[in-house]
Amino acid sequence: MDSALFESLLREEESDALDFKRDQYRFSKATDDERSELLKDLLGFANAWRRSEAYILIGVEDVRGGRSNIVGIAEQLSDHSLQQFVNHLTNRPLRFHYEAFNSDGVDVGVIRVELGQNRPLYLKRDFGKLRAERVYVRRGSATDPTNPASPEEIAEMGRSVTVAGQSPELLVQFADTERDVSCGDKRAWEAVSLSVPDPEAIPDFIVSRQFWCRRCPG
């Protein structure tokens, strides 16, 4: 996160790619019901139909029709702890990142949910207020647990493997197989140009050999 992007997000409306939270999520020493609020939001963004990365700005008060207010938070969460907590419960890894950010001397939290998740993502077991195997989706500015994805949406998620705007890349590297070491993806080559001389300049080796054999002993 940088200052320019953060300022731009403050001036946007909540959507399927942006959410504002005035208060920090309850996580440490929280109940399962309280921690399931964070799970719901992450799953909703991961399964949402969106074209860009999604952001949750924590310590920011939403202002409709204007620049949202930065109120700050007193406690930051640990990205490592969140990763373990979330991905222990989901059917496949949910790619997201938490970072502490300071804007004009005020501490806020930023959660970035990557684009191109391997959907659908859901819980392997019930947790707090959330039910196992239900595909929660953020629609517009909210994720409604009572309105999970339909079977048709889930089927479409499975078909949406390639993300628009991204192309597969092939990386080729050279290696010394005898020493089992990589030589990088670039090599220097030296070329030598060879040409056939005129026939008259080529020695007659057959004649020379016969001449030598006539002088062999015996």
For residues 54 and 79, what is the distance between their CA atoms, to the nearest angstrom?
A: 16
Average pLDDT, the chain: 86
Q: Is residue 166 part of a domain?
A: no
- Could you tell me if 7 and 95 lie in one domain? yes
**Between vectors from CA 89 to CA 73 and to CA 26, what angle results, nearest 5°?**
20
Same domain, 144 and 179: no
In a domain, 116, yes or no: yes
Which is nearest to 20 in space by CA: 110, 99, 107? 110
Residue 91 and residue 13 share a domain = yes
Same domain, 98 and 128: yes
Q: How many domains does the chain have?
A: 2
* Residue 110 and residue 150 share a domain: yes
DSSP secondary structure of 66-127: SPPEE---S-PPPHHHHHHHHHHHBSS---EEEEEEEETTEEEEEEEE-SS--S---BSS-B
- So what's the pLDDT on residue 163? 46
92 plus 150 within the same structural domain: yes
User: In the predicted model, is pLDDT for residue 166 greater than 60?
Assistant: no
The pLDDT of residue 202 is above 80: no
* 44-94 pLDDT tens trace: 999 999 999 999 999 999 999 899 999 999 999 999 999 999 999 999 999
In a domain, 83, yes or no: yes
Clarify whether residues 145 and 205 are in a common domain.
no
Q: Is 164 among the domain residues?
A: no
Please report whether residue 53 resides in a domain.
yes
d(CA 138, CA 160): 17
Is residue 169 included in any domain, yes or no?
no
What digits encode the pLDDT tens for the residues 16-55? 999 999 999 999 899 999 999 999 999 999 999 999 999 9
Pick from 135, 159, 183: which residue ends a domain?
159
Can you give the residue range of the structural domain that contains 59? 3-159
Other beta carbons within 10 angstroms of residue 157's beta carbon come to: 19
Residues 18 and 50 in one domain: yes
The answer to whether position 7 is within a domain reads yes
Looking at the fold, whether 19 and 116 belong to one and the same domain comes out as yes
120 and 206 fall within a common domain: no
Whether 178 and 155 map to the same domain: the answer is no
Helices 32-47 and 79-89 cross at an angle (nearest 10°) of 80
165 — pLDDT class (breaks 50, 70, 90)? very low
Question: 152: domain CATH number?
Answer: 3.30.950
Residue 95 sits in the same domain as residue 193: no
Q: Is residue 11 part of a domain?
A: yes
